[in-house]
Structure 1
């Protein structure tokens, strides 16, 4: 029987252990048994490579080759228990994870950790899977003991954070980490940073800011602490956060990354003059830093100062072209930098409604890696001009390099038809693509969403399930199907399972948080709904989310807050159907 490359390392390791563990040849074990002897602590046991052991390894290997990962993991787990060899426990864990059987993976990880308790990878895998499955009893104590015993406290803290981050309930994760770090928070800036990040994920911005300031107090020079003071502080007390960041930069003027982050956040808050003032100071400090020209053009573009932005980009392009000519072998980023500048000019032209100029800039891009992006975007712009024939001709002229590019071309064509109001043609384009590439989840997903818009719910559900089979980690498919059930107020237990999986895959996705919040609303858990919907609205001030959040506040008798949220949602999207329906159903008149 052939032994594949998969199984050879396992067999050879066992043979090597068997050959080196003895000073004299061992007494042969009976053919129907597996004999093991534990060596020094931390070393794997010596294993007699009997015919039975070899046979069972080969059985596991063949199962894995056939995609029967659960069978392979079960066999390897049994071998690990029989031989006391942690390497087989590790392999069982890997097979179970490949097969996405988390229960079996947890059993295997625990066996691996029990057989090799000094292996940090084994222990971390066991704890992480326990956390992800909600088994947190004793987790804080275990993590605290590991941190206390570790020579490298910082590394142990990072490992603890990685473990609790697997937990779906972020508030519970914060509680576990809080208890685990009790022994080190008084002296460790990193511990406070970990708590700050976890608190932020748990939707507790005030706690996050407080932890960031405590980290900074312990390590005043920490750029990581200063960055979190700015990021988290902007949510709680923006003026103080910005002022404290300026104070830090006055003492650390070389912290370019933090300066650029501050520029970005000032721009995001609409403080364009303040952002440009900071950039001017940076340019005086480092006049040869030509990338600041590009950043300054971005700020002006965001501010709607398009003439200033275009002038700066022209200057930037000239400088980069000079760099490119000055380097004979082309060993600079100048070509790519010029292309980035032209892409920004494309955006400006689109905002100004000058689609011809946008197309001209796209055609001027000569960076090879951007050609595909430029041509597909050119087709989209022809579609926006109403020239669907030219849009299709542009796409037809593209020679896709691989399946991914072929998929993008098909999806782009469907998008062009959809945006032109030709939904039927978009559906036909996607159906043709689905026939051509039947195992492409992206095509099935977009087709399903369009069919859902046409009221073909059964076809939508079928396609979403196909997407999940083809791509079990596609959070959007779980979310779309789960949200549809919630919105239609049916199959809520299944909707819960779908949304839990979506949240596990993408815990910070605003759309998924909205779906989970709306599910909790449907099940009358208004306080739980409020938590998730607030987290969603913090990221995505969309009218649909505002409709859900406002209605939840309304049910909690917080009517003034509800009206304020609805007003914000209406301002963002005055014609939103979901918001209109909510207000009409509740009989609410907004000023």
Structure 2
């Protein structure tokens, strides 16, 4: 057997590992396999590296090189059991995780933890996988015992949170954490912070706020507690949360990150004057903090006060340019800061419909890391102006530095034609690129989506499956294929599997939450659908999501609430076809 160069370091490392003894309870080894010598009680066995053992390790590593992770994990797990070597148990666990075989990974993690029971990483991996598999019996008791016996209680709490966070059922996770932390909540602010986060994830904002306040009562100076009082309190009692945050800042005036968070949340709530007032106070305290100029410009831009925003940005650019002249190149971030300001000026110009002005700002960007982004954006703006010739010329002038940039240029070119209503040409561009770069999942994904718009469902499905094969962590591909099945009301069992995988990869993605909610609607789990669709709509109050959420409320006999959501969706997008079709199908007329 020829051993490849990339396998040799692994084999040598594993061989060297067997020169060191490991503590573990002895188990019988198969005859003619390995020689295990048990020393005095409490001392580890010493394992001789035999030709058979070396061969089995090589087989496992070669299997992994060929992508056969399950075979590799099974072989290494057997070797770990025969040799009592926890490092081989860890390697088996890693292989199983690479192959996304959670059942096999759980076996390996348990073996690893059995062989090295004092290793917190091994024990955590075993408990986490048990939790993610829904095996929570005794988990809370185990975590509680670990916390009780730990010298560093806070570190033990952090480890417990990490384990419980792997559970997909967030309500059950909260219940487990509740029991695990019962012995320390009276004295540990960190425990209450953990419960606040778990409550929020479980959809219990009221309790999340209460836990944040309990943490703050135990540690009044904690910025983490104050941050959660603000974040979670805004959902429950916004006025009180903001007031309590001001009270905290009055005692801790140097908590800049919390001040900026409050500015951000005030802006998000449309309280622009209040946000600007707070920024003014911050600037008076630290007049040399020129970053606040940029933040003030952002708030004005969000408020639609574009002229004020532009004046602040130009002042900021002048200051940064002066810094750049006064300080040696590379010793300041002034060049990057100026480019960021110009990008915001580009956004403002686009909102004002001044696309040519936006192009001029893009051409003024001299930050090397942003030149490619600026050039592709310039091409997009020419496309919006209807000047496809200039858009093509701008893209043709770009010299991509690598395959990623080549891909972006292709996708930008296709999007310009798509947005111009020339979908057929966009498809041809992507098909040509797919032949040129056949294993590029981004190109296949965009091509599949355009073919789906053209009604070519079979080609779309084939491309999505190919994207998943090339990029198994592509949440969008799982979601697009799963949602298509749900929308067509077919292949629902496979749609469930696809959407579960998408949700595992990107649990807070509003589009995926909408798809999962719509799947639950199709299976008549209206209460479950409501939970996911509300989470989606909170992030993405779009007309399509409003159509789904409204129909779910309608089926739950909450008709007034459904009409309110639909009205919001129609206001956001009066011509949305999905919303209009929903209203027509249900015979609903909105005022």
User: 1:499 is paired with a residue of what secondary structure?
Assistant: helix
More deviation in 59-68 or 288-297? 59-68
**Residues 282-338 of structure 1 deviation map (CA, whole Å, 9 limit, x = unaligned):** 000001001111111111111111111111111111110110000134410000011
In 2, Cα distance between the equivalents of 1:109 and 1:170? 23
| Other-structure match for 1:280 | 280
In 2, Cα distance between the equivalents of 1:131 and 1:422? 50
User: 1:174 is paired with a residue of what secondary structure?
Assistant: helix
User: 2:19 is paired with a residue of what secondary structure?
Assistant: helix
Question: Matches of residues 291-370 of structure 1 in structure 2 within 5 Å?
Answer: 291-370=291-370
Given that residues 430 and 447 in structure 2 are in contact (C-alpha distance below 8 angstroms), is that contact kept between their aligned partners in structure 1? Answer: yes
| Other-structure match for 1:525 | 525
User: 1:365 is paired with a residue of what secondary structure?
Assistant: coil
In 1, Cα distance between the equivalents of 2:447 and 2:163? 38
In 1, Cα distance between the equivalents of 2:251 and 2:473? 46
Work out whether 1:572 is the aligned partner of 2:576.
no
In 1, Cα distance between the equivalents of 2:83 and 2:186? 45
| Other-structure match for 1:423 | 423
Change over 3 Å in CA distance of 1:33–1:374 after alignment to 2: same
| Other-structure match for 1:9 | 13
In 1, Cα distance between the equivalents of 2:557 and 2:463? 40
| Other-structure match for 2:402 | 402
Change over 3 Å in CA distance of 1:583–1:31 after alignment to 2: closer
Alpha-carbon deviation of 1:39? 6.4
In 2, Cα distance between the equivalents of 1:574 and 1:206? 34
| Other-structure match for 1:168 | 168
**Residues 39-95 of structure 1 deviation map (CA, whole Å, 9 limit, x = unaligned):** 689976321112221221122122222222211111110011111111110111111
Given that residues 31 and 51 in structure 1 are in contact (C-alpha distance below 8 angstroms), is that contact kept between their aligned partners in structure 2? Answer: no
| Other-structure match for 2:469 | 469
| Other-structure match for 2:115 | 115
| Other-structure match for 1:106 | 106
Given that residues 42 and 116 in structure 1 are in contact (C-alpha distance below 8 angstroms), is that contact kept between their aligned partners in structure 2? Answer: no
In 2, Cα distance between the equivalents of 1:328 and 1:485? 58
Work out whether 1:80 is the aligned partner of 2:68.
no
Given that residues 44 and 86 in structure 1 are in contact (C-alpha distance below 8 angstroms), is that contact kept between their aligned partners in structure 2? Answer: no
Change over 3 Å in CA distance of 1:584–1:38 after alignment to 2: farther
User: 2:33 is paired with a residue of what secondary structure?
Assistant: coil
Given that residues 42 and 118 in structure 1 are in contact (C-alpha distance below 8 angstroms), is that contact kept between their aligned partners in structure 2? Answer: no
User: 2:428 is paired with a residue of what secondary structure?
Assistant: helix
Given that residues 203 and 535 in structure 1 are in contact (C-alpha distance below 8 angstroms), is that contact kept between their aligned partners in structure 2? Answer: no
Alpha-carbon deviation of 1:429? 1.0
Given that residues 134 and 167 in structure 1 are in contact (C-alpha distance below 8 angstroms), is that contact kept between their aligned partners in structure 2? Answer: yes
Alpha-carbon deviation of 1:346? 0.5
More deviation in 560-569 or 244-253? 560-569
Given that residues 411 and 430 in structure 1 are in contact (C-alpha distance below 8 angstroms), is that contact kept between their aligned partners in structure 2? Answer: yes
In 2, Cα distance between the equivalents of 1:41 and 1:200? 49
Question: Matches of residues 163-562 of structure 1 in structure 2 within 5 Å?
Answer: 163-562=163-562
Alpha-carbon deviation of 1:234? 0.8
In 2, Cα distance between the equivalents of 1:202 and 1:448? 35
**Residues 408-427 of structure 1 deviation map (CA, whole Å, 9 limit, x = unaligned):** 11111111111111111111
In 2, Cα distance between the equivalents of 1:355 and 1:117? 64
In 2, Cα distance between the equivalents of 1:42 and 1:135? 32
In 1, Cα distance between the equivalents of 2:588 and 2:361? 48
In 1, Cα distance between the equivalents of 2:583 and 2:329? 64
How many residues align? The count is 583
Given that residues 168 and 503 in structure 1 are in contact (C-alpha distance below 8 angstroms), is that contact kept between their aligned partners in structure 2? Answer: no
Given that residues 173 and 198 in structure 1 are in contact (C-alpha distance below 8 angstroms), is that contact kept between their aligned partners in structure 2? Answer: yes
Alpha-carbon deviation of 1:380? 0.4
In 2, Cα distance between the equivalents of 1:450 and 1:171? 39
**Residues 550-591 of structure 1 deviation map (CA, whole Å, 9 limit, x = unaligned):** 111111111111111111111111111111111111111111
Any unmatched runs of 5+ in structure 2?
none
In 1, Cα distance between the equivalents of 2:132 and 2:324? 51
Change over 3 Å in CA distance of 1:432–1:319 after alignment to 2: same
User: 1:233 is paired with a residue of what secondary structure?
Assistant: helix
Given that residues 161 and 194 in structure 2 are in contact (C-alpha distance below 8 angstroms), is that contact kept between their aligned partners in structure 1? Answer: yes
In 2, Cα distance between the equivalents of 1:39 and 1:566? 74
User: 1:15 is paired with a residue of what secondary structure?
Assistant: coil
Given that residues 209 and 233 in structure 2 are in contact (C-alpha distance below 8 angstroms), is that contact kept between their aligned partners in structure 1? Answer: yes
| Other-structure match for 1:25 | none
Any unmatched runs of 5+ in structure 1?
22-28
TM-score of the aligned structures, taking structure 1 as reference length: 0.96
More deviation in 69-78 or 7-16? 7-16
| Other-structure match for 1:36 | 36
In 2, Cα distance between the equivalents of 1:296 and 1:40? 71
User: 1:234 is paired with a residue of what secondary structure?
Assistant: helix
User: 1:507 is paired with a residue of what secondary structure?
Assistant: coil
Change over 3 Å in CA distance of 1:330–1:55 after alignment to 2: closer
TM-score of the aligned structures, taking structure 2 as reference length: 0.96
